[in-house]
């Protein structure tokens, strides 16, 4: 199993450009998440999904959109990139936590995004 994969690994955007980050998981997990990580700070939840076709806002959703058209994929979109969105983005997935007595999330390797 590849686990959680993210593409691309690095990207540089100009202010106002758009892009989509792709996350894929092969563990048949129901839940998927997008986080951003800034220097000196922990992970902050942007959006999450509890199943195919469903999405919900996390702690810092402004400026981002997401889609979960297939269970194994979770896309994060930036419609008009801003320098404040320079960050490292992590995708994660998990099983239905309560049923399995664990909320462990499995993380991808991250995407480093710079907006100039």
Partner 1 sequence: GESVGLHLPTLSVQEGDNSIINCAYSNSASDYFIWYKQESGKGPQFIIDIRSNMDKRQGQRVTVLLNKTVKHLSLQIAATQPGDSAVYFCAENRAGGTSYGKLTFGQGTILTVHP
Binding mask 45-74 for partner 1 (x = CB under 8 A): x--x-x-----x-xx---------------
109, 113, 115, 116: which one contacts partner 1 (CB under 8 A)?
109
User: 99 burial class (0-12, 13-18, 19+ CB within 10 angstroms)?
Assistant: exposed
8-47: which residues touch partner 1 (CB under 8 A)? 31, 33, 35, 39-45
Q: Torsions phi, psi of 85, nearest 5?
A: -95, 5
Q: Return the number of the residue (13 or 108) whose C-beta is nearest partner 1.
A: 108
Q: What 3-state DSSP class applies to 50?
A: strand
The single residue listed with the structure tokens 């269970």 is 71
Q: How many residues does the chain have?
A: 116
Q: Footprint of partner 1 on this chain (CB under 8 A)?
A: 4, 31, 33, 35, 39-45, 48, 50, 56, 58-59, 90, 92, 94, 96-99, 101-110
């Amino acid at each position: 199993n590849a686990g959680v994969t993210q593409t691309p690994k690095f990207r540089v955007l100009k202010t106002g450009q758009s892009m989509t980050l792709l996350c894929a998981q092969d563990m048949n997990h129901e839940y998927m998440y997008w986080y951003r990580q800034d220097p000196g700070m922990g992970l902050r939840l942007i959006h999450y999904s509890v199943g195919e076709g469903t999405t919900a806002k996390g702690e810092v959703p402004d400026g981002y959109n997401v889609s979960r058209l297939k269970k194994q994929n979770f896309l994060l979109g930036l419609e008009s990139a801003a320098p404040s969105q320079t960050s490292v983005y992590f995708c994660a997935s998990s099983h239905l936590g309560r049923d399995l007595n664990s909320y462990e999330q499995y993380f991808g390797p991250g995407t480093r995004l710079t907006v100039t």
